[in-house]
Amino acid sequence: MPRVVVTGLGPVSSIGTGIEEFARGLRAGRSGISEITGFDVSGFPHRRGGEVHDFAPEATLRRLTPAEWGRSSQFAAVAARLAATDGGFDPAGDEPGRAGAVIGTTSGESVVMEALTEQIVTTGFDGMSPGLLEQLPANRLAHAVSAELGLTGESLTLATACSASNYAIGYAYDLVHSGQADVMFAGGADSVCRWAHAGFFRLGALTKDACTPFDRDRSGILTGEGGAILMLESLEHARRRGARIYAEVLGYGLNCDANHPVAPDAASIADCMRTAQRNAGVKPSEVDYVCAHGTGTPANDTVEARAIFEVFGPKPPPVSSIKSMIGHTMGAASGFGAIAAIFAIDRGFLPPTINWTTPDPAFADLDPVPNTARQARVRVVQNNGFAFGGNNAITLFGALA
Amino acid sequence: MTGLVVTGWSSITAAGVGEAPPLEPLPAARVTDLFEEALPEESAPVLTGFDVRAHLGRKGTGSYDRATALATTACGEALKAGSVEVNDATRGRIGVVLGTTVGSFRSTSDYSRDTLVQEKPYLVNPLLFPNTVMNCAAGQAAIRHGLKGVNSTVAGGPLAFHQALRYAANALERGYADVMLVGCVEEYSPHRAWQTAAARRSGPTGEGTAVFVVERADAARRPGSTVQAEVLAVATAFGWGDAAADALAGCVLRVLREAGVTAGEVTAVATGDAQEYEPAARALGHRPERVTVSELYGQCDAATGGLSLGALLGRRLGGVALLTARTRDGGVGAALVRGPS
């Protein structure tokens, strides 16, 4: 069966847009956290998040008119265009229908949803703008990518919350691996919004100033936003056109806690890791780095660390969380994790967990790559994604052997 | 693709819980009596008297929104109808994939509304926060029925059921799951009713859900399960703007080819909207009977594809049916299904 490789990367993040900026941000341990401006935060005790400032979709998009699309679709389309440019994507000469898009999201067009809700509050239901209503359906995230890049294959939005990018990468990998597609653009997008900020605050899961994953005193997430898309293609297709190959997608695993809508489950997450490793043909000892889900909530990091020790034994590989830098970008989160994982393989550095000061005695032997990026020779990376609804999804990437 | 079979199914519409959707208009109810908010219509074919507690009990169902209640109930009914045994040996191999448009428009908008109208913007109900996330129904169905396998939510709007079938087919073919519950759901709410009205679409807004027990047709199938329909092939694609009709016709040709079925064997075409029929008929080269459930049940958006299949199976579909779908923005799909002979 065809092997699947990554040949293009498109990050649109609070620490940089495009691979060089994003890589520089990760390597420098830059923080993308600032006071939120996308909505009025004055009534909230906590006011910070990982917004993408100065987002200028018109500078990158070639086919879409940004005003016709919601913010999350714009993130997806810009990230996809960046990935396509990076990967030298050229559909000319390919059989039609063999390239597609799979985009993950938590809240879809949340900014559009909130604008409509304001119209309902201000003028009533009949005040909802037809133009905004047309922008609301979440299928438009994938369609924005397909339309922007002229893709005629599957165009699918997967709405599996905060692991959705890993779902998308996994499904896209399957389509290429099983010979149903040559090229797939896969990843995720989400936008910072008021209701999620409020909801996480009321769950007691939102921190005030800085996200500090795996620190003893961690106190929650900061919401973030952006788009993170990978160009996947079959190895043969990539070689035929002489493409630069970043890494190979080795496989992935999915499962469902079927236990609690918001509380993670260590045994189930450990099972998901084993499933992903088995599907990818990777032994725990072969994994050089774990790009963690690492939200920075007390519960997630404890549960994730416990599952890691259960699967990897007492000396697991380094485990860091890029959410310390960009916040929790929801449906884009494991897409950014995948890009960081590929940098680890292709550029030989582990992104740090910034804001880290104090080990948690509950997992004292976990190495979070504290505060400073580390040079390392990395062959295999495991990229974790967990979500509300118990939707666990883990992808594995490896250096092309 | 490997052929798939449906070995049990259930749907919930105004016709009732577990009743096959009829090939006639569903009874309309006075929605103005059911909702406090203003509505653009007095009556619509919605469920009256549906109470999730009657089906699933009180425990754990208090936080469900309407879409979650409908889908979770239908998943349970489908498991029963297909005699799927859920135990510690099987639960990790039984998955769920549900289709939606935005999850519950109402749950999400009401939550957002609270950040505007409450005394403080953060005075939202933390217990209802998961209802704002589009995977709520699939996650709750897994919790309620103890299903720990692949669990996914496809946000495809009117194309969602076709995409859910595609997603399930992949999970089954790749060996990630043995059984997939494949369904779709849409709830009636003032939000959706006004959305339909704003788009100037014909007819009232509808609601419903349909969930199918889907397995591989080959030896991987559960011993003793009863085949109620064969899903011969499913394809989805994208055609922006003027390219959509040709993309839909292309999907029809592809499913015929993959299924090894001649166009002449297709005896019915179930379309999501009326505009799909011409490209489908063009691809088929003849004009089979047309079924368009949105004309019978109101605009059911993401639930349309599943309800169409339910309607075809309910009348003991003979021969091969083609189900088509499209989104407003260029997504298209086609599926070929053979009923019990």
Q: Kindly report, residue by residue over A46-101, the tens digit of the pLDDT.
A: 999 999 999 999 999 999 999 999 999 999 999 999 999 999 999 887 888 999 99
Q: A15 pLDDT exceeds 60?
A: yes
Q: Are residues B30 and B141 in the same domain?
A: yes
Helices (H), chain B: 52-56, 66-81, 105-117, 136-145, 160-173, 190-198, 244-259, 277-284, 294-297, 304-314
Residue among B112, B166, B173 minimizing CB distance to A195: B112
Query: Could you give the percent of chain A with pLDDT greater than 90?
Result: 97
Burial of A377 (0-12, 13-18, 19+ CB in 10 A): exposed
Q: How many CB pairs under 8 A join A and B?
A: 261
How far is it, in rounded angstroms, from Cα A272 to Cα A258? Answer: 13
Any B CB within 8 A of A201 CB = yes
CA distances from B237 to A165, B241, B251 (A): 20, 13, 7
CB-based contact A167:A54 (threshold 8 Å)? no
How far is it, in rounded angstroms, from Cα B29 to Cα B14? Answer: 9
Q: Is residue B223 a part of any domain in this protein?
A: no
Per-residue pLDDT, averaged over A340-362, amounts to: 98
Q: Are residues B184 and B288 in the same domain?
A: no
Q: Are residues B207 and B295 in the same domain?
A: no
Per-residue pLDDT, averaged over A298-315, amounts to: 98
Q: Are strands B320-326 and B266-270 parallel, antiparallel or unpaired?
A: parallel
* Residue B122, helix vs strand vs coil: coil
CA distances from A30 to A14, A56, A392, B19, B134 (A): 10, 21, 28, 58, 31
Q: Are residues B310 and B206 in the same domain?
A: no
Any B CB within 8 A of A170 CB = no
Final residue belonging to a domain, choices B166, B189, B216? B216
**Helix or strand holding residue A131 (H, E):** helix A130-135
Any A CB within 8 A of B334 CB = no
Interface of A with B in 133-152 (CB under 8 A): 133-134, 136-143, 146-147, 150-152
Any A CB within 8 A of B94 CB = no
CB contact under 8 A, A156 and B146: no
Helices (H), B118-153: 136-145
DSSP single-letter state for residue B242: G
**DSSP character string of A12-79:** EETTEESHHHHHHHHHHT----EE--SS--TT-S--EEB--TT--GGGT-SS--GGGS-HHHHHHHHH
Any B CB within 8 A of A44 CB = yes
Contacts of A40 in chain B (CB under 8 A): 121
Task: Confirm whether A260 is a catalytic residue.
Answer: no
Amino acid at A209: D
B92: β partners: none
* pLDDT for position A378: 98
* pLDDT for position A401: 86
Any B CB within 8 A of A116 CB = yes
CB contact under 8 A, A125 and B194: yes
Quickly count: other Cβ atoms within 10 Å of residue B281's Cβ.
20
Q: Are residues B161 and B49 in the same domain?
A: yes
* Residue A380, helix vs strand vs coil: strand
Query: Which range of residues forms the domain containing residue B190?
Result: 4-216
* pLDDT for position A261: 87
Interface of A with B in 21-40 (CB under 8 A): 40
How far is it, in rounded angstroms, from Cα A206 to Cα A186? Answer: 28
Q: Is residue B222 a part of any domain in this protein?
A: no
Task: Confirm whether A193 is a catalytic residue.
Answer: no
* pLDDT for position B223: 87
* pLDDT for position B341: 62
CB contact under 8 A, A175 and B170: yes
Q: Are residues B167 and B280 in the same domain?
A: no
DSSP single-letter state for residue A395: E
Q: Are residues B59 and B138 in the same domain?
A: yes
Q: Are residues B207 and B239 in the same domain?
A: no
Q: Are residues B196 and B294 in the same domain?
A: no
Please report, for the domain that includes residue B295, its CATH number: 3.40.47.10
Question: Which residue spans within B14-54 are E strands per DSSP?
Answer: 16-17, 29-30, 43-44
Q: Are strands B266-270 and B289-291 parallel, antiparallel or unpaired?
A: parallel
Per-residue pLDDT, averaged over A186-203, amounts to: 98
Tokens in use for A273? Answer: 């890791």
How far is it, in rounded angstroms, from Cα B340 to Cα B102? Answer: 34
Task: Confirm whether A162 is a catalytic residue.
Answer: yes
Q: What is the ipTM of this complex?
A: 0.98
Q: Which of A261, A224, A184, A255 is nearest to A6 (CA)?
A: A184
Token pair 């009348």 is found at B315
Q: Are strands B229-238 and B331-338 parallel, antiparallel or unpaired?
A: antiparallel
Give the CATH H-level superfamily of domain A251-398: Thiolase/Chalcone synthase (3.40.47.10)
Which of A143, A197, A237, A293 is catalytic? The answer is A293
CB contact under 8 A, B135 and A389: yes
Q: pLDDT by residue (tens digit) across A148-159?
A: 999 999 999 999
Amino acid at B23: L
CB contact under 8 A, A138 and B102: yes
Q: A352 pLDDT exceeds 80?
A: yes
A4-247 and A251-398, same CATH topology: yes
Final residue belonging to a domain, choices B216, B247, B264? B216
Q: Are residues B62 and B8 in the same domain?
A: yes
Per-residue pLDDT, averaged over A292-315, amounts to: 98
Q: Are residues B197 and B237 in the same domain?
A: no
Token pair 């609270």 is found at B114
Any A CB within 8 A of B100 CB = yes
Q: Is residue B290 a part of any domain in this protein?
A: yes
CATH number belonging to domain A4-247: 3.40.47.10
| Number of domains composing chain B | 2
Q: Collect the ranges in chain B with pLDDT lower than 70.
A: 1-2, 341
Which of A162, A193, A211, A272 is catalytic? The answer is A162
CB contact under 8 A, B156 and A196: no
CA distances from B66 to A24, B91, B103 (A): 46, 26, 10
Task: Tell me which chain B residue has its CA closest to the CA of residue A205.
Answer: B126
* pLDDT for position B340: 76
**Domain range list for chain A:** 4-247, 251-398
Q: pLDDT by residue (tens digit) across B84-103?
A: 999 999 999 999 999 999 99
How far is it, in rounded angstroms, from Cα B299 to Cα B328? Answer: 14
Any A CB within 8 A of B90 CB = no
